[in-house]
Structure 1
Amino acid sequence: MKKLSIIALLMTIIGMLLWQPQLASADELTGHSHEQGLRYLISKNALVKDAKGSYRPNDNVTRGEFASYLSKAMNLKATSDIVFKDVPDTYVHAKDIKLAASAGIITGYGDGSFKPNAAISRQHMAVMLERAIDYLNIPKGTPTITFKDNASIIKDYRQAVAIGAQLEIIKGSNGYFMPEKNATIGQASSFIVRLMQLAGDPDATAPNGGNTNDGNTSGGNSNGGDTNGGNSNGGDTNTGSSKYAIKEISNGTLVGNQGFSTFEAAEKAVTKNTQVIVQSDKIVKMSSGYAVTNNYVALKSETINDSLAVAANTEMEYLSSDATQVKVRLAGQVGYLKHADVTLIPFSISKGRSYYENVNGEIKHTLYDYKTNKYSSSYIFGKAPSFMKQNEKYYSWNGIYFSNGNGSSKGDAYNYYQFLPARAQTQYTAQEIDTYIMNKLAEIESTGATLYKDATKKSKLIGLGKTLKDVEAKSQINAMLILSLAQHESAYGMSEHAQKLNNLFGLYVYDTNPLNKNFDSIADNINELVDKFLQPNYINPGGTPGKNFANGAVVGSKALGFNVKYASDPFWGAKIAGHYYRAEKALGFKDANNPYTIGLTTTNGLNVRTGAATSNNPLFTYARSGMPVIITSSATNGWYEIISDKLYTGKAFVSKDYVQVINTVK
């Protein structure tokens, strides 16, 4: 009887195994090396079968298809009036292409086409993915990964490829990226599912973890050299198995190693300000100190409810931390970052910090490089404030408020050129500007640097004075401000984009051809900067709807001004101001000797009116406080007359009660 029972049981099991394929038969995607990504796209209705009933996983993906995949996976909604001449409304992916273009994820060719049916190369895909990373506010990894065929990647695309590889969205095969090779639908799906995993989409998470390479093989190939771009947080992503320890700061080093199984247990055991919590020798909590970004990050500011691009090596105030994130403050902007994005440094074991000092009456900023643990560079950007003593170091979180190491000497200092609104007019003539430009070019040429060879003959800044003054008269934007931007962004008119494309500001880098936008003249390039970027986005109060670029019409800092959104370098505004200051110094300080009076608004929702009474119509409204204004007359009946940030030739007025006049250093 036992034998019969066993035989019956075996027959039942065999019958079930034989029957199983009929219950859930395999399809063409089962076992495919990119199965996870392909099924993810199907779940988003991004990938559908063709007329033959196939998902075509091994076919080349087109530009239109990839744009559609991104649009549907990211659930894009907002559209603008962007139109490509070869994408009619009847095109199958027309709506998704428009959505992706409106989000700034895709661009087209200079002739207005998009070429939706063209196969997309892997390097072009990397550029689109980088823009998607920015759109989704995913902090970028340090772009250090290179492939064996890195030289084959178009120079302007290498950073996008490196960022994608660092985040493990992009992977190669046997150490090669194959940049010019067309990507398959399967490869595209793996790129996108990895992107959306980082974005936190629960639909993108699958138990199999996806494939480990982007090649066409389906075997267990390695990731082609990507392992060197792994997590830099010392293992704190494996919180389930990681061990925490309490260490104590003693004579500038960390000693002791009291272990705990959880962060919470370690946190409860901390009893002294000199103790820190570490995980795999990485500090994850301390009583005081500062945080330094390990790589480029997107900081979501709770202060202004917006994401800020922040460069690597940026020092920020440390506020607090838990097992997963660090709370920081950058120039008054409070937000959170992952432990992997920052290094926490207690003040007592700091080997060096960026600092300011008074050097012969000028303020000099010296920067510290935390990768090499050395002071790396410095720049002068104006006169030193009166409270700064020579031979003494000062520190500042926002470039406005400064204190020395012991806190005994401190004060506010608004650099005139850094916080001078763009509507100010310079007193220098076109001829004076041209004279300064030629003298400056002769100075940099004399350094012998290869970049500046023949600068006095070849620079695109030569003879620019009249153009700058014409733009100032027409657009009401300071000619010296535009010159300072041009000097900084184009290496004094000697950069490759300036020389080859008449592009002083690096405007428009297309995903298909970064050298595509060739301006007919420098004047056209400047007008494009003013009309398409500065005027509508950064100067006009409120800016372009949905972009949140308008944070004050000054170059400013990460606290306010263009620098909040224009550049990830937190000192970009100060560096632009430095160019203006040095030009002033060479020309005799005509602007500083007859300065504008500058004030800051002190309340949210402040109306600027066409007359000095609430009965007059609002010209515009400042949504947030702290906006710089130029005051052109003393208060009359409780109102200041100001220069309008909105392009407007009439008079503008604001209530004196909501504006604080600031003392600027000049």
Structure 2
Amino acid sequence: MKKLSIIALLMTVIGMLLWQPQLAFADELTGHSHEKGLRYLISKNALVKDAKGSYRPDANVTRGEFASYLTKAMNLEATSDIVFKDVPDTYVHAKDIKLAASAGIITGYGDGSFKPNAAVSRQHMAVMLERAIDYLNIPKGTSTITFKDNAAIIKDYRQAVAIGAQLEIIKGANGYFMPEKNATIGQASSFIVRLMQLAGDPNDGNSNSGNTNGGNSNSGNTNGGNTSGGNTNGGNTNGGNSNGGDTNTGSSKYAIKEISNGTLVGNQGFSTFEAAEKAVTKNTQVVVQSDKIVKMSSGYVVTNNYVALKSETINDSLAVAGNTEMEYLSSDATQVKVRLAGQVGYLKHADVTLIPFSMSKGRSYYENVNGEIKHTLYDYNTNKYSSSYVFGKAPSFMKQNEKYYSWNGIYFSNGNGSSKGDAYNYYQFLPARAQTQYTAQELDAYIMNKLAEVESTGVSSYKDATKKSKLIGLGKTLKDVEAKSQINAMLILSLAQHESAYGMSNQAQDLNNLFGLYVTDTNPLNKKFDSIADNINELVEKFLQPNYITPGGSPGRNFANGAVVGSKALGFNVKYASDPYWGAKIAGHYYRAEKALGFKDAKNPYTIGITTTTGLNVRTGAATSFNPLFTYARSSMPVIITSSATNGWYEVLSDKLYTGTAFVSKDYVQVINTVK
């Protein structure tokens, strides 16, 4: 009887087990160190199995895959006409790459490629994640976190790594970050799920009953953590009880404060931006959110870090460096309307700082110093004047001992409106097709004298410059390029001096790269050139000639904004460099060379004109019956006029490589007086 009872009990237990719901079988992700992130990407339809049925969690993630993961996790939708030459529409991640690029989260290389199948290093990924942090309006502050191998992180990327580490999105191991190591799909998934947790994604696998990260949210209350998507930062929002007119900003998202003696006073709180904006009654009042100004009557805007500004003026994205001053036009709850050298666009509040004129502690300014124009730059991170440079003769209207300001490097004002004027610096707005009058021997002599000068400063990076610089003996190469490609030899030398620290930079010394080719703000490609001559030819044949000088540029590349170094208003500087003063600094090198060599170019100058209309045809003859050689899509394009008007037409140097004569209607070109 006892045996039968035991058997019956066993049969009952076995029966119960057989009737239990089937448990899910373990798969390759079960127990993986990045399982949570991997399953998150799967839930977003971002990660799928390959032909062998594997998610490849330990394989290196590619640039295309990572862009796709971000796009799907962030639900990006807005797209633009950004095109990468190596990402055809048939590419598996083409749509996601375009969406991520349109959001300013990823960028391509200088040659117009994206390299979607290249592996992503951990430091490159940190930069892309920082862009995503800004896009999602996740508060980040400034971090001082460092790793034991911090020196191995590219200098410009250290901030992104530090911010990612501070927010615990990216992590190292045993105090090391391993910046150059390629990231795996698993690591990428963990980075992204942590990012989306900060953004409050309810599907991030860590959200319970609507609670967001950075603090527990109960019944709509957010306590002392960083949240986004409408939640307040660093304050408590209780059940949505904030209402217009609250005087306690602890229960309000926005507040009105008044500028008094350079500081903000007052604390009238409002639940919405619109309510606060409507309540502003004086020019001295501003709207703030968590003590950050988000609306003001007048002032200027400074970028907190590198940003991509989508210019509505030319329908193109412009790279803009951190610490860049821009005109403030207006703002709403989510974005700020700005104007950079005439280029109007929008930036997110997280990307910029709004500074009312009455609260300014210092601004970059121009001045006349002994007849030369000097530009002094202000560093908003340290609130100190940081550096200065001279780039030409001062215009006649500039008085000594007086500060002048300019948004575009062309129009200057002293701030009170009593003294102002236009000034086109000759070297900054001299078209590239000009020829310098200096010989190869004169260029070589100047190079050696300049190297001796920088060597004598005692700066360690210039040690033995007269022996080691990659600029030594370049005179003949530069003049040969000028003759063959019709690009000013002195212009190329000036660009090389600036980009390579007089031929002494690591890129120049180790890679024969004088111009930072294939080195962007987010993705440096350490391509080594066989010789300096090869490097110069690559600059000319793959960058300047097809994209920056020839009107229209190569297919899909909208870089031709005038064949001058220029500024963010026009010229190479619009697209070549994020530094808004890059063109002026290149001009400064040309000017100093001229000053050392006797101003041969300035004493026999070219006549420069500026086009005044869009869609202007440059023709092969002085009549509309002649075929167009090319068309200027934009207005305000600089041209070199080689003869006085004949029958209403100017003879000009063609921006397109062309050995014949070119003509443009006199009615649509204004001759300018350059400062030289």
Q: Which bracket does the TM-score occupy, shorter chain normalised?
A: 0.7 to 0.9
Cα deviation digits, residues 382-441 of structure 1 (max 9, x gap): 000011111111111111001112110010000000000000000111111111111111
* CA 1:358–1:223: 2 relative to 1, 3 Å: closer
Residues 541 and 550, structure 1, Cα contact 8 Å, conserved in 2: yes
**C-alpha displacement of 1:177:** 3.0
Residues 190 and 210, structure 1, Cα contact 8 Å, conserved in 2: no
* CA 1:279–1:665: 2 relative to 1, 3 Å: same
Given the alignment, which residue of 214, 225, 232 partners 2:242? Answer: 232
Q: Which segment drifts farther, 57-66 or 417-426?
A: 57-66
Once residues 142 and 472 of structure 1 are traced to their aligned partners in structure 2, the CA distance between those partners, rounded to angstroms, is 46
**C-alpha displacement of 1:60:** 6.0
Gaps of 5+ in 2: 203-212
**C-alpha displacement of 1:9:** 27
Residues 58 and 185, structure 1, Cα contact 8 Å, conserved in 2: yes
Residues 235 and 279, structure 1, Cα contact 8 Å, conserved in 2: no
Cα deviation digits, residues 215-254 of structure 1 (max 9, x gap): 9999999999999999999999999975322222222222
Once residues 231 and 431 of structure 1 are traced to their aligned partners in structure 2, the CA distance between those partners, rounded to angstroms, is 78
Identity %: 92
Residues 242 and 270, structure 2, Cα contact 8 Å, conserved in 1: no
* Aligned equivalent of 2:568: 558
**C-alpha displacement of 1:279:** 1.9
* CA 1:286–1:352: 2 relative to 1, 3 Å: same
**C-alpha displacement of 1:169:** 6.1
* Aligned equivalent of 2:507: 497
* CA 1:363–1:125: 2 relative to 1, 3 Å: closer
Residues 368 and 376, structure 1, Cα contact 8 Å, conserved in 2: yes
Gaps of 5+ in 1: none
Report SS of the residue matched to 2:277.
helix
* CA 1:48–1:468: 2 relative to 1, 3 Å: same
* Aligned equivalent of 2:674: 664
Residues 194 and 204, structure 1, Cα contact 8 Å, conserved in 2: no
Q: How does 1:448-487 map to 2 (within 5 A)?
A: 448-487=458-497
Q: Which segment drifts farther, 251-260 or 475-484?
A: 251-260
Once residues 228 and 523 of structure 1 are traced to their aligned partners in structure 2, the CA distance between those partners, rounded to angstroms, is 67
Once residues 325 and 78 of structure 1 are traced to their aligned partners in structure 2, the CA distance between those partners, rounded to angstroms, is 15
* CA 1:31–1:224: 2 relative to 1, 3 Å: farther
* CA 1:139–1:636: 2 relative to 1, 3 Å: farther
Q: Which segment drifts farther, 148-157 or 541-550?
A: 148-157
* Aligned equivalent of 2:158: 158
Q: Which segment drifts farther, 640-649 or 23-32?
A: 23-32
**C-alpha displacement of 1:547:** 2.3
**C-alpha displacement of 1:24:** 9.7
TM-score, L = length of structure 1: 0.79
Cα deviation digits, residues 152-190 of structure 1 (max 9, x gap): 547786577457668976454686534466644332234
Given the alignment, which residue of 256, 264, 267 partners 1:246? Answer: 256
Q: Which segment drifts farther, 313-322 or 83-92?
A: 83-92
Tell whether 2:450 aligns with 1:440: yes
* Aligned equivalent of 2:613: 603
Once residues 381 and 556 of structure 1 are traced to their aligned partners in structure 2, the CA distance between those partners, rounded to angstroms, is 12
**C-alpha displacement of 1:31:** 9.5
* CA 1:451–1:276: 2 relative to 1, 3 Å: same
* CA 1:333–1:215: 2 relative to 1, 3 Å: closer
Cα deviation digits, residues 473-504 of structure 1 (max 9, x gap): 00000000000001101111111121222221
Q: Which segment drifts farther, 339-348 or 73-82?
A: 73-82
Residues 225 and 234, structure 2, Cα contact 8 Å, conserved in 1: no
Once residues 522 and 354 of structure 2 are traced to their aligned partners in structure 1, the CA distance between those partners, rounded to angstroms, is 40
Once residues 499 and 586 of structure 2 are traced to their aligned partners in structure 1, the CA distance between those partners, rounded to angstroms, is 9
Cα deviation digits, residues 118-138 of structure 1 (max 9, x gap): 987634655787899999999
**C-alpha displacement of 1:530:** 0.6
Residues 142 and 294, structure 1, Cα contact 8 Å, conserved in 2: no
Residues 166 and 229, structure 1, Cα contact 8 Å, conserved in 2: no
**C-alpha displacement of 1:587:** 0.8
* CA 1:411–1:123: 2 relative to 1, 3 Å: closer
**C-alpha displacement of 1:564:** 0.5
Once residues 649 and 229 of structure 1 are traced to their aligned partners in structure 2, the CA distance between those partners, rounded to angstroms, is 74
Residues 248 and 269, structure 2, Cα contact 8 Å, conserved in 1: no
Report SS of the residue matched to 1:225.
coil
Residues 63 and 119, structure 1, Cα contact 8 Å, conserved in 2: yes
Residues 171 and 212, structure 1, Cα contact 8 Å, conserved in 2: no
Residues 199 and 229, structure 2, Cα contact 8 Å, conserved in 1: no
Residues 243 and 270, structure 2, Cα contact 8 Å, conserved in 1: no
* CA 1:27–1:286: 2 relative to 1, 3 Å: same
Cα deviation digits, residues 238-292 of structure 1 (max 9, x gap): 9997532222222222222222222222111111111112222221111111111
Once residues 39 and 63 of structure 1 are traced to their aligned partners in structure 2, the CA distance between those partners, rounded to angstroms, is 20
Report SS of the residue matched to 2:20.
helix
Q: How does 1:278-427 map to 2 (within 5 A)?
A: 278-427=288-437
Residues 57 and 186, structure 1, Cα contact 8 Å, conserved in 2: yes
Q: What's the C-alpha RMSD, in Å, of the aligned pairs?
A: 8.2
Once residues 212 and 177 of structure 1 are traced to their aligned partners in structure 2, the CA distance between those partners, rounded to angstroms, is 32
**C-alpha displacement of 1:32:** 7.5
* CA 1:634–1:456: 2 relative to 1, 3 Å: same
Once residues 431 and 17 of structure 1 are traced to their aligned partners in structure 2, the CA distance between those partners, rounded to angstroms, is 93
**C-alpha displacement of 1:62:** 7.1
Cα deviation digits, residues 502-540 of structure 1 (max 9, x gap): 221122359999685222221111111111111111001
Residues 276 and 285, structure 1, Cα contact 8 Å, conserved in 2: yes
Report SS of the residue matched to 2:250.
coil
Report SS of the residue matched to 1:629.
strand
**C-alpha displacement of 1:144:** 6.4
* CA 1:387–1:475: 2 relative to 1, 3 Å: same
Report SS of the residue matched to 2:575.
helix
Once residues 332 and 83 of structure 2 are traced to their aligned partners in structure 1, the CA distance between those partners, rounded to angstroms, is 47
Q: Which segment drifts farther, 194-203 or 523-532?
A: 194-203
Residues 249 and 255, structure 2, Cα contact 8 Å, conserved in 1: no
Q: Which segment drifts farther, 97-106 or 191-200?
A: 97-106
**C-alpha displacement of 1:472:** 0.3
Residues 130 and 164, structure 2, Cα contact 8 Å, conserved in 1: yes
**C-alpha displacement of 1:205:** 19
* CA 1:223–1:354: 2 relative to 1, 3 Å: closer
Once residues 246 and 470 of structure 2 are traced to their aligned partners in structure 1, the CA distance between those partners, rounded to angstroms, is 50
Q: Which segment drifts farther, 393-402 or 504-513?
A: 504-513
Tell whether 2:227 aligns with 1:222: no
Once residues 289 and 208 of structure 1 are traced to their aligned partners in structure 2, the CA distance between those partners, rounded to angstroms, is 40
**C-alpha displacement of 1:90:** 14
Q: Which segment drifts farther, 6-15 or 137-146?
A: 6-15
Once residues 498 and 445 of structure 1 are traced to their aligned partners in structure 2, the CA distance between those partners, rounded to angstroms, is 17
* CA 1:641–1:215: 2 relative to 1, 3 Å: same
Report SS of the residue matched to 1:635.
strand
Q: Which segment drifts farther, 369-378 or 145-154?
A: 145-154
Residues 292 and 342, structure 1, Cα contact 8 Å, conserved in 2: yes
Residues 169 and 195, structure 1, Cα contact 8 Å, conserved in 2: yes
Report SS of the residue matched to 2:165.
helix
* CA 1:74–1:219: 2 relative to 1, 3 Å: closer
**C-alpha displacement of 1:196:** 9.4
Once residues 379 and 394 of structure 1 are traced to their aligned partners in structure 2, the CA distance between those partners, rounded to angstroms, is 15
* CA 1:660–1:221: 2 relative to 1, 3 Å: closer
Cα deviation digits, residues 280-310 of structure 1 (max 9, x gap): 2221111111111111111111111111111
Number of residue pairs the alignment of both structures matches: 666
Report SS of the residue matched to 2:579.
coil
Cα deviation digits, residues 349-398 of structure 1 (max 9, x gap): 21111111111111111111112111111111000001111111111111
Residues 557 and 564, structure 1, Cα contact 8 Å, conserved in 2: yes
Residues 634 and 641, structure 1, Cα contact 8 Å, conserved in 2: yes
Residues 197 and 205, structure 1, Cα contact 8 Å, conserved in 2: no
Residues 200 and 228, structure 2, Cα contact 8 Å, conserved in 1: no
Cα deviation digits, residues 541-596 of structure 1 (max 9, x gap): 11122221111000000000000011111000000000000111111111111111
* CA 1:635–1:354: 2 relative to 1, 3 Å: same
* Aligned equivalent of 1:5: 5
* CA 1:421–1:547: 2 relative to 1, 3 Å: same
Once residues 30 and 238 of structure 1 are traced to their aligned partners in structure 2, the CA distance between those partners, rounded to angstroms, is 50
Residues 289 and 317, structure 1, Cα contact 8 Å, conserved in 2: yes
Q: Which segment drifts farther, 236-245 or 246-255?
A: 236-245
Once residues 412 and 114 of structure 2 are traced to their aligned partners in structure 1, the CA distance between those partners, rounded to angstroms, is 51
